[in-house]
Amino acid sequence: MDDNGRIMGTVQWFSRVKGYGFVRPDTQEEDVFVHYSSITGEGYRNLDEGQRVEFSMENTPKGPQAVDVVGLDMDDNGTENTVEPETEEAQFAQAL
């Protein structure tokens, strides 16, 4: 957990069809549920297996859930940077 209470982790899997998946926080061995609506950004929101993420965690009746999830990317220096989500137009263009 960083100074502002945010948690770093790695996407274990995410189903684009179902709109949910699981992330594993760096600080624990149990995966945490993540729903597509908790991913920050506009347009089509998804995560890729193995992707680094930063998030907050909420306790729900069904267990812990990742919220305010931001995808990260590594630059050439090994520094994690925020990934700008793709627009719906970019997703559509990739599908062609």
pTM of the model: 0.71
Domain residue extents for the chain? 7-95
**DSSP of the chain:** --TTS-EEEEEEEEETTTTEEEEEETT-SS-EEEEGGGB-SSSS----TT-EEEEEEEEETTEEEEEEEEEEEE-TTS-EEEPPPPPHHHHHHHH-
5-26 per-position pLDDT tens digit: 799 999 999 999 999 999 999 9
pLDDT tens-digit readout, 61-93: 999 999 999 998 744 444 445 554 455 555 555
Please say whether the structural domain 7-95 has been given the CATH code 3.50.50.60. no
